[in-house]
Amino acid sequence: MNRFARLSQLLSPLVAVAAAFLVGGLVVTAIGENPFRIYAILFRGAFGSIDAIGLVLFNAVPLIFAGLAVAFAFRAGLFNIGGEGQLYVGAFVCTLAGLALGGLPAVLLIPLLILASAAGGAVWAAVPGLLKARFGVHEVINTIMMNFIAVGLTSYFIINMLREPGQMTPQTSEIALAGHLPRLAGPLSRIGIPLPQANPLNFSLVLALAAVWLAWYILYRTNLGYEIRAVGMNSQAAEYAGINVRRTIVLAMLLSGAFAGLVATNEVMGFRHRFLDNFSSGLGFMGIAVALLGKNTPLGVLLAALLFGVLNTGALEVDIFTDVPRELILVLQAITIILVVVGNEVFARRAAAREGRAAGVPLPATEPSREA
Amino acid sequence: MSERHAVQMRGITKRYPRALANDRVDLDVEEGEIHAIVGENGAGKSTIMKVLYGLTPPDGGEILLWGRELSGHRPADAIREGVGMVHQHFMLVDTLTVAENVVLGAEPVRGCCLFDAAASRERVRQLSSEYGLSLDPDELIENLSVGLEQRVEIVKVLYRGAKILILDEPTGVLTPQEVRELFVILRALRDAGRTIIFITHKLEEVLELADRITVMRDGRVAGVVSAAATTKEELARIMVGRDVLLRVTKEQARLGEPVLQVSRLSAVGRKGSHVLEGIDLEVRSGEVLGVAGVQGNGQTELVEVITGLRKASAGSVTVSGRETTNRSPRQVRDLGVAHIPEDRQARGLVLGFTMAENLVLGRHHREPFSSRGLLSLGDIRTHAERLIEEHDLRPRDPDVDAGHLSGGNQQKLIVAREFDGGPALLVASQPTRGVDIGAIEFVHTSLLKMRDQGAAILLISAELTEIMTLSDRIAVMYGGKIVAEFEGGRVGEEELGVAMTGGAGPTARGSVSSDGAPGSRHATGAR
Ligand SMILES: Nc1ncnc2c1ncn2[C@@H]1O[C@H](COP(=O)(O)OP(=O)(O)OP(=O)(O)O)[C@@H](O)[C@H]1O
Ligand SMILES: [Mg+2]
């Protein structure tokens, strides 16, 4: 990739974000508010205090996992739309294990629950993976269907069988204390960062950063990653090279689902400590947007998730201190995504024209890149 | 020939990040001439044509068509001024007819908005007979041979009013007979006043067809000569900068043990008919078996079955005494089978991978390129640097994406990879398609060296000279069967040509249905 293309890869999301804020500002003006005031409040809400920054990170963590799930599958040429279902199953399995294995010490229980979360997501993603590999059924249909099944089933079990005794809220009891991920407030204040004790930011942030590194490492440093990328870019050549395409597809889906399942480390192990029915409300789908904005690279996912964390956190403040409805933030996010996709296409075409080949890139990162 | 210039390109410069593809190139093409562009792989031939057609904007220089400066650098601008490109990778819709394909995108209209099918057919028939293309407007594309598909592409360009036709390596995929027919068409076009620019690596073709020749080297014009006043040797010398052996010599084969044994092999195609029927073959260590045949007579399928990419319906394949029938491509590869596939972009390369990554494709899972599931980036890189050096791949940079290499360098990359590592059996399909004469010399000598070191080589080529120079024995395929076998060096091009068409006529595509019994009267030595 040449320098121009590389630069545009970096620039196009930034330009898109700027444009999105501009359009968002127009919308704010249209409903009779001062956009500068609103944006000032939004950014104060996200960056105004250590507490606020902690919240931004806390909101970003599940999006990192969900975004990695989509981006990872994309490298194998698969659209995993099923992050939502996979994270529900991951959280469900994690909760069950956390309820059942109360006797274990934290050093055992925490790793076990992390594995349980990943395994739950992996199994759920493996089903559409197998159906694709075995029968060639398109994964988009089956991942969506698996979403409905996951939401319905977990809901059914929580309401009818696992509901916390004596409670109306559709949620399970708390998992064993040894399975709680510690909050970061304690360790951070010891090194001089005064994050309030009430801040929900927890150790799953560290896990999320590790997952970003792991996704990059698998894709670019392992045999499996080489095969995944080969299958994603040219499955005929992969087959020619002796790569087992079906096996690679299933493995890529498994790993993708595992990343989605890890959302539970934040939602269950780090924050709620239980399974609350319908807790996600679309985290899995936001993951698609995050991956798109992050151009399906692990590092890009991290940055995009942080941006969404800022928007989500600032939205609360806007909601509290102004008459601008919180929904406007959703509008802003949607506009950002649309502009990124459009902007990327425009850049890609220009770069393609310079390189002398045909454009027409369906999604940002079909142009493979080796950067993390 | 008029003195008017159809094309004048002045000081065209095109810089890619790792290559100066065109360095102040001047190109003059007179109206009504056939102008050839020759040069080594990566010399910048395709790039200068892409600039002319508006596919890529130049960094500097100007383009004049009939003396007027071309405004705008998009294909639409070039097409408006009468420039047409006959694409190498045909862009035709298989399920539409010839006429429908030709008018696609510029359909004649009846009334306000009705597709005028009769008018399109008429127009295609007219263009076709005017230049002797013999195309049936109502035939479906999927029933056409490669040569005929190319003619559809030519008519497409003519239909859009092209006065200047660009053909980038048009003969690479054609049989010798199809090449002759193409030349007749191109001459007819020239005589009707059209201007033709074509790129090729085959110097005989250049001397036979072209009026003038521009030779490119390292992004520059190394010379412009008139075809009447030059020779193959001189052209080669200007291109490469040294004398080139235009024919390799080979020793008598020293035969060893059988390596590839194919017996009674059959395979069934998509429509349930036999694409291979009862094939018997044997290739010994130290031997080159050439398979000749018109494209589409089962060669592709034979190679796919041998390399594990397609299932056999009956019969068996063994490699070095081990049964490999219907084994996976990896199992076959791991027995020491290397494979140069016929279509480099479809199978042979991952275009988004770097040269280094592509150079280990198929062996990436083995030592030293990976151990315990981890890639050894250092070894992969050293390997790439060595092969780039040995095979003179350009640019000399393992980090360049394979998709950014010139066509010939992509082919050379695959050859380099598959030659390396001392395979027991090399299955080589069209190994020199698109590579320049210097590189052909290199590929041919290396292939014979491998043979002399004991490799068994199955060579599939549409290039009869290639088959005849390299093969110790030649098998001819027609209609999914082996219809004739000859000793190498004991058969003429004519005789081979007749066997290849099953005696049915020059452009026929062999029938691949089970009941089609192709010309067995030529089956002199079929086993
Ligand atoms: N899209 C691209 N990006 C980067 N470099 C390119 C690109 N296309 C071509 N090049 C480089 O430009 C140079 C000239 O390439 P070009 O395709 O014009 O060669 P060519 O003369 O047509 O060779 P061949 O005979 O192999 O087809 C090569 O070094 C090639 O690597
Ligand atoms: Mg070329």
Model confidence pLDDT, tens digit, residues B248-271: 778 888 899 999 999 999 999 877
Alpha-carbon gap: B519 to the closest alpha carbon of chain A (Å):
33
**CB-based contact B324:B314 (threshold 8 Å):** no
**CB-based contact A83:A66 (threshold 8 Å):** yes
Half-sphere exposure at residue B132, Cβ-oriented, CA atoms within 13 angstroms: 13
Query: Tokens 């590189």 — which residue?
Result: B439
For residue range A306-334, what is the model confidence (pLDDT) as tens digits?
988 998 888 888 888 888 777 777 777 67
B42 touches ligand 1 (CB under 6 Å): yes
Within-domain flag for A342? yes
Relative to beta strand B220-226, strand B34-39 is unpaired
For residue range B441-488, what is the model confidence (pLDDT) as tens digits?
889 999 999 999 999 999 999 888 899 999 999 999 999 999 999 998
Relative to beta strand B83-86, strand B164-168 is parallel
**CB-based contact A86:A257 (threshold 8 Å):** yes
The residue among B134 and B22 whose pLDDT is bigger is: B22
Do A249 and A327 lie in a common domain? no
pLDDT computed for residue B524 by the predictor: 33
Do A300 and A351 lie in a common domain? no
Query: Tokens 């930034």 — which residue?
Result: A14
Q: What are phi and psi of B345, to 5 degrees?
A: -80, -30
- The CA distances from residue B423 to A208, A270, B187, B431, in Å, are 45, 56, 45, 15
Do A194 and A341 lie in a common domain? no
How many angstroms separate the CA atoms of A182 and A204, rounded? 9
Of A98, A90, A47, A46, residue with least CA distance to A65:
A90
- A 225-284 residues with CB < 8 A to B: 225-227, 229-230, 233-234, 236-244
Which of B333, B348, B374 minimises the CB distance to A242?
B333
Q: What are phi and psi of A221, to 5 degrees?
A: -125, -5
Within-domain flag for A5? yes
Q: Is the pLDDT assigned to residue B490 strictly greater than 90?
A: no
- Hey, what are B15's tokens? 């810089």
Of A34, A96, A80, residue with least CA distance to A292:
A80
Do A121 and A162 lie in a common domain? yes
Which residue of B13, B15, B16 sits with most ligand 1 atoms within 8 Å of its CB, as the best mutation to test the pocket? B16
Do A243 and A215 lie in a common domain? yes
Alpha-carbon gap: B6 to the closest alpha carbon of chain A (Å):
23
* Average pLDDT of span A289-316: 90
* Tally of CB atoms within 10 A around B109: 11
Q: Where on the phi/psi map is residue B57: left (φ > 0), alpha (ψ -120 to 50), or beta?
A: beta
**What's the domain range around A7?**
1-33+323-372
pLDDT computed for residue B82 by the predictor: 93
A355 touches ligand 1 (CB under 6 Å): yes
The span from the first CA to the last CA of chain B, in angstroms, equals 55
Q: Is the pLDDT assigned to residue B344 strictly greater than 90?
A: no
Question: Among residues A307, A322, A337, which one ends one of the domains?
Answer: A322
Q: What are phi and psi of B37, to 5 degrees?
A: -120, 125
Q: Three-state secondary structure along B108-176? A: CEECCCEECHHHHHHHHHHHHHHCCCCCCCCCEHHHCCHHHHHHHHHHHHHHCCCCEEEEECCCCCCCH
**CB-based contact B292:B496 (threshold 8 Å):** yes
* Average pLDDT of span B1-20: 86
Relative to beta strand B83-86, strand B322-323 is unpaired
Do A151 and A276 lie in a common domain? yes
Do A233 and A313 lie in a common domain? yes
* Average pLDDT of span A21-47: 86
Do A333 and A359 lie in a common domain? yes
Within-domain flag for A345? yes
- Hey, what are B352's tokens? 């988004």
Q: Which residues pair with B220 in a beta bridge?
A: B217
Centre of ligand 1 from the C-alpha of residue A372, in Å:
28
B39 touches ligand 1 (CB under 6 Å): yes
Q: Is the pLDDT assigned to residue B520 strictly greater than 60?
A: no
Within-domain flag for A51? no
* Tally of CB atoms within 10 A around A169: 10
Average pLDDT, rounded, for chain A: 88
- Hey, what are B128's tokens? 């076709």
pLDDT computed for residue B413 by the predictor: 97
Asked whether this complex has an ipTM greater than 0.95, the answer is no
Query: Tokens 């000279």 — which residue?
Result: B465
pLDDT computed for residue A351 by the predictor: 65
User: pTM of the entire structure?
Assistant: 0.88
Of ligand 1's atoms, which has the minimum distance to the CA of residue B47? Answer: 18
Centre of ligand 1 from the C-alpha of residue B7, in Å:
22
- The CA distances from residue A330 to A24, A293, A333, A368, B404, in Å, are 10, 15, 5, 30, 41
Of ligand 1's atoms, which has the minimum distance to the CA of residue B411? Answer: 26
Within-domain flag for A72? yes
Q: Which residues pair with B226 in a beta bridge?
A: B212
Do A281 and A344 lie in a common domain? no
Within-domain flag for A47? no
Q: What ligand has the least distance to the C-alpha of B23?
A: 1
Do A328 and A318 lie in a common domain? no
- Count up the domains in chain A and report the number: 2
| Separation of CA B78 from chain center | 26
Top-ranked range on mean pLDDT: pick from A174-183, B104-113, B342-351: A174-183
**CB-based contact A120:A91 (threshold 8 Å):** yes
Query: Tokens 């004048």 — which residue?
Result: B8
What residues are neighbours of ligand 2 (ion), with CB under 5 Å?
Answer: B 46, 406-407
B461 touches chain A (CB under 8 A): no
CATH number at residue A103: 1.10.3470
Alpha-carbon gap: B36 to the closest alpha carbon of chain A (Å):
22
Q: What ligand has the least distance to the C-alpha of B16?
A: 1
Residue A38 pLDDT level (bands cut at 50, 70, 90): confident
Do A172 and A288 lie in a common domain? yes
Of A281, A225, A222, residue with least CA distance to A71:
A225
**CB-based contact B175:B462 (threshold 8 Å):** yes
Alpha-carbon gap: B379 to the closest alpha carbon of chain A (Å):
13
Residue B74 pLDDT level (bands cut at 50, 70, 90): confident
pLDDT computed for residue B493 by the predictor: 82
Partner-chain contact B351 A243, CB within 8 Å:
no
Do A318 and A333 lie in a common domain? no
Collect all residues of chain A within an 8 Å Cβ-Cβ radius of residue B337: none
For residue range B461-471, what is the model confidence (pLDDT) as tens digits?
988 889 999 99
How many angstroms separate the CA atoms of A38 and A29, rounded? 10
* Helices vs. strands in chain B: H and E counts, helices first: 16, 24
pLDDT computed for residue A344 by the predictor: 65
Centre of ligand 1 from the C-alpha of residue B79, in Å:
23
* Average pLDDT of span A272-289: 93
- The CA distances from residue B282 to B56, B232, B290, B425, in Å, are 49, 37, 11, 12
- B 29-58 residues with CB < 8 A to A: 47, 50-51, 55-57
Peptide bond into B108 cis (omega under 30): no
Residue ranges of domains in chain B, CATH in brackets = 5-240 (3.40.50.300), 247-336+434-527 (3.40.50.300), 345-421 (no CATH)
Collect all residues of chain A within an 8 Å Cβ-Cβ radius of residue B401: 1
